[in-house]
Chains A and B, each alone.
Chain A
Amino acid sequence: EIVLTQSPATLSLSPGERATLSCRASQSFSNYLAWYQQKPGQAPRLLIYDASSRATGIPARFSGSGSGTDFTLTISSLEPEDFAVYYCQQRGNWPLTFGGGTKVEIK
């Protein structure tokens, strides 16, 4: 099973700042890496697929990068609605796995 480790667990930032979230895999796999955003009481929302492709309707301030075992989600300038929990997920190997999440909170 591929274990995904997200860091940091919590990121305290102000609106307008840049957020950089990390997702590290226990072994290399194809770039079938997705990122999701989840707000309290809501279902997750797909942001990024295949490591760097934005899903439909996702603003350009969200970008994904990386390959092999190291992946990054960047939010270029935080909007108030971006404060949430973010999860990475690998879709390259069974069983599918999620990272533990990074909470982006208002500083």
Chain B
Amino acid sequence: EVQLLESGGGLVQPGGSLRLSCAASGFTFSSYAMSWVRQAPGKGLEWVSAVSHIGTSTYYADSVKGRFSISRDNSKNTLFLQMNSLRGDDTAVYYCAKDNVGFDSWGQGTLVTVSS
């Protein structure tokens, strides 16, 4: 069974940093691209970032480009999202998702709250 478990969320002040992790199991992690998708409270889904299966290619939404960095450690079956210069509009539940023909598996999400 595919499992994705996010961690690292919490309360951070504007301008601060957080590093999210997503531990994967139940599939060959190194064979799949992975993405982060976020959802602000009461709002819709927003794709944030993606990384290729071997980590050589990365992609970002314009809203986070230059502030967030996606990476992965295939030896540890873990996906990361380094978030710097956080702003209030970054407040959201952050999901990691396995990219197959669509996002066919999702974690339960980790809440990031940016507030002073």
Contact residues in A for B109 (Cβ distance below 8 Å): 43
Q: Which residue of A lies closest to B109 (CB)?
A: A43
Instruction: Give the segment of B23-31, B77-85, B99-107 that binds chain A.
Output: B99-107
Q: Within the complex, what minimum Cβ distance (angstroms) separates B9 from chain A?
A: 14
How many B residues, CB 8 Å from partner? 20
> From residue 8 to 40 of chain B, which have CB atoms closer than 8 A to chain A?
35, 37
Contact residues in B for A44 (Cβ distance below 8 Å): 37, 45, 95, 103, 106
A98 touches B44 (CB 8 A): yes
Q: Which residue of A lies closest to B103 (CB)?
A: A46
27 contacts between A and B (CB under 8 A): A34-B102, A36-B45, A36-B102, A36-B103, A43-B95, A43-B107, A43-B108, A44-B37, A44-B95, A44-B103, A44-B106, A46-B103, A49-B104, A53-B101, A55-B101, A87-B44, A87-B45, A89-B45, A89-B47, A89-B102, A89-B103, A95-B60, A96-B59, A98-B37, A98-B46, A99-B44, A101-B45
